[in-house]
Amino acid sequence: MTDTALVLGAGGLTGVGWEIGILYGLAEAGTDLSTADLVIGSSAGAVVGAQLTSGLLTLSELYERQLADPRGEIVSHLGAATLLRFVQAALTSRTPEAYAQKLARMRPAAGGQDEAARREVIARRLVSHEWPARPLRVTAVDAVTGELRVFEKDNGVPVVDAVAASCAVPGVWPAVTAEGRKWIDGGVHSCANAQLAAGYARVVVIAPNAAGGGVLVSPRRQAARLAAEGARVEVITPDAAARKAFGRNVLDPARRAPAARAGLAQASAHAEAVAALWTGGTMKA
């Protein structure tokens, strides 16, 4: 087995803030997960992963960015009707690919951004528009086949396009064009895609959305499979205070700062376990 992997899951703008809050809090407690040998990001996690691996800002600086005025971001909603279609698609699909195909047929809400405008929003979120030197995997889903795709530095797809594809929530944002194909949100395949960390000895999964069921495998079930293969795995999902901070709309830019603060506050509860895993030690009795 190779060594350490950090998995950053999907979860909207609140997920971006919360994940960075968790990472900053863990670093303040003595464990800097930005040292991971591999970072895997889906949707919100793709944004955080690209920011983290750029090496241009410290975790403290990334955290402060979450507290700033979210100008340039656009308020959107995962409305009740859209969420119902997600649930219906999950209940009537036999595979993650079939589920993704159904979601891909959903059109963005009227008045939403076009693909170019949406790309500009993603570009402003990123610290760098170049792939990092360190290994970063960004997930997206083929809008036609429903298959999971992993974008990496050597694929030839610009990192902005890869992250934009990973964040293309069906029914909210337009699909993203890359490699002559259309791509939707990487979180459609699963909330974390932690299976991509197979072969790594120590894995930390930070998942703003812990959901699973039916054809969708939850982050904890994916972590259990990794553990069964011999990995040590720690999964962090939002506590009650974080879920309250997220509010009812995870795509609301105004909720990003409260989510970041909630992540920072929650990190202390996981600091000992994460430190023991990351250093190869054991927790105190």
Give the catalytic positions in this structure. 43, 185
Which residues neighbour 83 within 8 Å (Cβ) at sequence distance 6 or greater? none
87 contact partners, CB below 8 Å, separation of at least 6: none
Where do we find the tokens 């009707």?
A: 81
Question: How many residues are recorded in the chain?
Answer: 285
- Give the Cα separation of 275 and 26 in Å (integer): 8
Least Cα distance to 18 among 37, 52, 38, 44 occurs for 44
Contact present, 170 and 103 (Cβ < 8 Å): yes
For 93, other C-beta atoms within 10 Å of its C-beta total: 19
Q: 10 Å Cβ neighbour count for 224?
A: 15
